[in-house]
């Protein structure tokens, strides 16, 4: 059945000489499906396809209150959609009010939106979770008809996505008959996404749009060879500048904020023609971001240096080139970014990749092959994490009393929690209510109590405010605001991680928002800086997110290594691989290459596992643990996506026992329990589950630090006195699939099945050399630590003229 559009809308299309895309019409025809997933390439008019049924419904002006909720993973995307929706709505003369609501919305506007919601509300998962927690949520959402989840592929495997889907299960109860629409870019496994989106047991229908032409994508040819290590891509500045000049508008993507900052800085130093170039990333202050977005919309910028904050579906119109600096860690992300260029449907997108270092030349080549072969990274099975569920239970309690049975049923409508056992749910509820300890300590202070009618509710309603302050599932390092000093409330520049701020000394200079600033001091958790005429920042800059290379990309690289020569690679990289083959050998997929050599007075071991950064890091922890047991005094290690480098005091003759699978899981469990990765994971989950509060009322942090103590202590205490506690179980599950990535290590060890090639070398091998330049070295707190500490103590005491 073809559904007709109201005349205002068809007239608008006709007046522009546009016709409705087939998938837009198909979405309109299926507007009554309980759940509909649309897979379409970027630029395919996906958003319009999602909104057309809403516009048609609202055209006669009869609907009162909220009709459609739109959720996107990014604040910027919500703002962008508002612009792109308001224009046509005004031109069509439709009586529709569109507003956005994100962390950036003023509290005044937020209050008004609750009392008088618009027809279409554009928001983010966190803002929605907050809305759902209000006691008037039932009134706000009562008339809700449709919910559109944009860029759902980006949320699918994340805790933000889990939280969003739990919020949706709430909405489906508050507004029976609510229809769900998911908009996704091209993915390998649409059924997996449909399962996440569906309101179980209802099905989710999948609609595939024409994928459009293949992108025009290549490696940027640069005269100079890339450096051996690092991720900045500074060597490519002039080549990139030349490309910017050749195109109308260029987006330049970086994998981390830090790299974006540095690149932007160097770009401007070389920008002799004063081309208008902006920077955009998530750590910048809202005012800064909005300025750049506005300039971009008005076509005043020739280029934007950016990170993932611009990654998702933002329609800037006139972009005709995308440059990716540094290897994309998974192929899906690369395709997404390429989609940014040229939003005209059915015209190929143009993109250039700039490898940031020598190894990335190989990685980029492999990624390009994958794109041409249409092989995207596969999705993994996803079961809903329990820390997010614990938070959801608290959010539910904020909205008012509830029955455990009803909440359990509601939660099980969510794909990721469809198989949740009642017993597990009850443990989470118990945790939310009392802390869930074996020792019953908080009976009189518990958070949730069960009323005489059997309903659960907050013991003290005032606690709702504290819970709301801690809603969210993104647990980064603690952030601190950066502002210009001068007067009270100097202009905000953005944020830096707290540990970065803690290491600053007065007079240090660093980059933020493309400015070099001088650190003046800390005032009440604000980093105060001043302008400085310095040309070169003294402190490199703050950290960004690190992604692991996907299995699929790693396999492609190993496949490439099997070639006898590499005519497709630039000469420098070709020579590098040939030299490695001559001096040592190249890693193979079904074998494990282990090199050992002395360097700088220490023994070194490199294991080329190609298991991705997180798994290689875990491998480093595992192997050093075994080395410690063998008395080899390991001192530390560093991991990249393809190898782990370990250094220590003593020489290793036979690496085989180190990589044996015997007792691997047991060894793993035993030492994992006491390890920094677990403690970091514990902290993240403890914050999400509400065991500890990141934000407290009044933000009253005491000036002296005696009051705060490390979450490591909580972890150790639980392990000793309450080893069966649910937070430990959650931590273990999280670590195994997250930072630890144990599955990939097991997979790798199973694949090599003991086939270990040990090469003893007199010095560093060509492939190992870049590892020495890698940041992120991890020390081993074993006997070597105490030895060094004692030596340092003796040295200091002697220097100070004291006798130890």
Partner 1 sequence: MTAHTFIFQGETLLALPSGGLFWPAQRVICVSDLHLGKSDRMARRGGPLLPPYETIATLDRLAQDIAATDPATVICLGDSFDDVTAAETLADAPKDRLSTLMAGRRWVWISGNHDPGPINLGGTHLADYRHGRLVFRHIAAPPATGEVSGHYHPKARLVLRGRRLSRPCFLFDRDRLILPAYGAYTGGLFCDRPALAELMASGAEAILLGTPPIRLPMPR
Which residues here bind partner 1, judged by CB under 8 A? Answer: 434-435, 437, 439, 441-442, 445-447, 460, 462-463, 466, 636, 690-693, 696, 704-710, 713-714, 717-718, 720-722, 725, 777, 779, 786, 788-790, 792-793, 796-797, 800, 802, 804
Q: Cβ 690 to partner 1, closest distance in Å?
A: 7
Structure tokens at 271: 């920008």
Tell me the three state secondary structure of residue 297. Answer: helix
DSSP state of 658: G
Neighbours of 118 (CB within 10 A): 18
- Strand-pair category, 778-779 with 634-639: antiparallel
Q: Cβ 677 to partner 1, closest distance in Å?
A: 17
Nearer to partner 1, 148 or 677 (CB): 677
Nearer to partner 1, 762 or 804 (CB): 804
Q: Which residue has the tokens 């990589």?
A: 659
Nearer to partner 1, 665 or 797 (CB): 797
Nearer to partner 1, 574 or 719 (CB): 719
Q: Cβ 604 to partner 1, closest distance in Å?
A: 16
Q: Cβ 544 to partner 1, closest distance in Å?
A: 20
Nearer to partner 1, 115 or 800 (CB): 800
180, 202 in Cβ contact below 8 A? no
Nearer to partner 1, 381 or 709 (CB): 709
Nearer to partner 1, 152 or 429 (CB): 429
Residues forming beta bridges with residue 35, ordered by sequence position: 180
CA gap 54, 35 in Å, rounded: 15
Q: How far is CA 34 from CA 178, 182, 200, in A?
A: 7, 11, 10
Residues forming beta bridges with residue 122, ordered by sequence position: 70, 100
Q: Cβ 44 to partner 1, closest distance in Å?
A: 47
Nearer to partner 1, 345 or 437 (CB): 437
Q: Any idea what the Cα angle at residue 284 is, between residues 281 and 290, rounded to 5°?
A: 85
Q: Cβ 442 to partner 1, closest distance in Å?
A: 5
Nearer to partner 1, 1 or 700 (CB): 700
Q: Cβ 675 to partner 1, closest distance in Å?
A: 16
Q: Which residue has the tokens 């050992």?
A: 596
Neighbours of 177 (CB within 10 A): 9
CA gap 587, 307 in Å, rounded: 32
Structure tokens at 231: 């991720």
Q: Cβ 673 to partner 1, closest distance in Å?
A: 16
Sequential DSSP letters for 366-409? HHHHHHHTT-PPPPPP----HHHHHHHHHHHHHH--B-HHHHHH
Residue 121 has phi, psi (to 5 degrees) of: -115, 125
Q: Cβ 784 to partner 1, closest distance in Å?
A: 10
CA gap 165, 171 in Å, rounded: 10
Q: Cβ 789 to partner 1, closest distance in Å?
A: 6
Exposed, middle or buried: residue 502 (CB in 10 Å: 0-12, 13-18, 19+)? Answer: exposed
Nearer to partner 1, 289 or 604 (CB): 604
């Amino acid at each position: 059945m073809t559904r007709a559009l109201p005349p205002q809308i068809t007239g608008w299309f006709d007046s522009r000489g546009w016709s409705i895309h087939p998938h837009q019409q198909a979405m309109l025809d299926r507007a009554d499906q309980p759940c509909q997933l649309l897979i379409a390439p970027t630029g395919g008019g996906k958003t319009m396809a999602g909104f057309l049924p809403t516009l048609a419904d609202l055209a006669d002006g009869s609907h009162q209150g909220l009709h459609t909720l739109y959720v996107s993973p990014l604040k910027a995307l919500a703002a962008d959609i508002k612009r792109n929706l308001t224009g046509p709505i005004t031109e069509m003369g439709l009586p529709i009010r569109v507003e956005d609501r994100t962390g950036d919305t003023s509290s005044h506007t937020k209050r008004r939106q609750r009392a008088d919601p618009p027809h279409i509300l554009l928001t983010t998962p966190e803002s929605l979770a907050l809305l759902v927690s209000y006691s008037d949520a039932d009134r706000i959402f009562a008339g809700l008809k449709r919910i559109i989840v944009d860029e759902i592929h980006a949320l699918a495997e994340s805790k933000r996505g889990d939280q969003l889907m739990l919020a949706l299960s709430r909405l489906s109860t508050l507004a029976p008959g609510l229809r769900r629409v998911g908009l996704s870019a091209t993915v390998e496994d649409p059924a997996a996404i449909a399962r996440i989106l569906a309101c179980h047991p209802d099905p989710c229908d999948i609609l595939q749009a024409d994928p459009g032409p293949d992108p025009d994508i290549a490696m940027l040819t640069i005269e100079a060879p890339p450096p051996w290590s690092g991720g900045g891509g500074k060597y490519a500045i002039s080549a990139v500048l030349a490309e910017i000049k050749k195109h109308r508008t260029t987006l330049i993507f970086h994998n981390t904020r830090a790299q974006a900052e540095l690149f932007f800085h160097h770009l401007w130093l070389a920008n002799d023609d004063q081309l208008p170039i902006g920077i955009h990333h998530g750590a910048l202050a809202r005012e800064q971001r909005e300025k750049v977005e506005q300039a971009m919309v008005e076509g005043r910028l020739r280029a934007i240096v950016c990170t993932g904050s611009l990654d998702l579906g933002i329609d800037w119109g006139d972009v005709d080139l995308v440059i990716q600096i540094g290897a994309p860690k998974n192929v899906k992300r690369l395709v997404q970014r390429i989609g940014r260029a040229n939003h005209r449907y059915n015209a190929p997108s143009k993109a250039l990749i700039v490898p940031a270092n020598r190894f990335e030349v190989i990685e980029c080549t492999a990624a390009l092959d994958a794109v041409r072969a249409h092989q995207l990274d596969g999705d993994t099975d996803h079961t809903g994490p329990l820390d997010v569920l614990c938070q959801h239970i608290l959010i539910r309690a904020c909205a008012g009393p509830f029955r455990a049975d009803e909440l359990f049923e509601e939660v099980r409508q969510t794909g990721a929690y469809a198989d949740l056992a009642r017993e597990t749910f009850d443990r989470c509820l118990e945790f939310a209510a009392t802390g869930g300890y074996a020792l019953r300590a908080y009976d009189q202070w518990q958070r949730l109590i069960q009323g005489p009618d059997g309903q659960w509710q907050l013991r003290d309603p005032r606690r709702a405010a504290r819970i709301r302050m801690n809603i969210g599932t993104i647990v980064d390092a603690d952030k601190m605001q950066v502002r210009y000093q001068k007067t009270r409330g100097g202009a905000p520049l953005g944020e830096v991680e707290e540990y970065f701020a803690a290491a600053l000394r007065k007079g240090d200079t660093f980059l933020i928002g493309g400015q070099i600033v001088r650190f003046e001091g800390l005032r009440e958790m604000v980093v105060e800086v001043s302008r400085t005429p310095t040309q070169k920042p003294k402190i490199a800059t703050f950290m960004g997110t690190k992604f692991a290379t996907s299995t699929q990309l790693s396999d492609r690289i190993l496949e490439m290594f099997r070639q006898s020569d590499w005519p497709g690679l630039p000469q420098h990289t070709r020579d590098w691989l040939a030299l490695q083959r001559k001096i040592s050998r190249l890693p193979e997929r079904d074998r494990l290459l282990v090199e050992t050599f002395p360097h700088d007075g220490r023994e070194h071991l490199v294991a080329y596992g190609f298991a991705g950064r997180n798994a290689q890091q875990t491998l480093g922890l595992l192997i050093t643990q075994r080395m410690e047991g063998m008395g080899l005094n390991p001192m530390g290690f560093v991991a990249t996506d393809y190898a782990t480098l370990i250094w220590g005091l003593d020489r290793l003759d036979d690496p085989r026992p180190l990589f044996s699978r015997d007792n691997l899981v047991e060894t793993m469990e035993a030492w994992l329990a006491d390890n920094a990765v677990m403690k970091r994971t514990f902290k993240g989950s403890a914050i999400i589950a509400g065991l500890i509060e990141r934000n407290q009322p009044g933000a009253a942090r005491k000036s002296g630090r005696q009051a705060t103590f490390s979450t490591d202590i909580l972890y150790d205490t639980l392990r000793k006195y309450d080893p069966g506690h649910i937070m430990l179980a959650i931590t273990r599950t999280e670590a195994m699939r997250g930072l630890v990535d144990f599955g990939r290590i097991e997979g790798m060890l199973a694949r090599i099945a003991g086939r270990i090639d040990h090469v003893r070398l007199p010095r560093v091998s060509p492939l190992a050399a870049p590892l020495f330049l890698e940041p992120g070295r991890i020390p081993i707190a074993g006997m070597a630590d105490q030895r060094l500490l004692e030596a340092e103590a003796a040295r200091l005491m002697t220097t100070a003229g004291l006798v130890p």
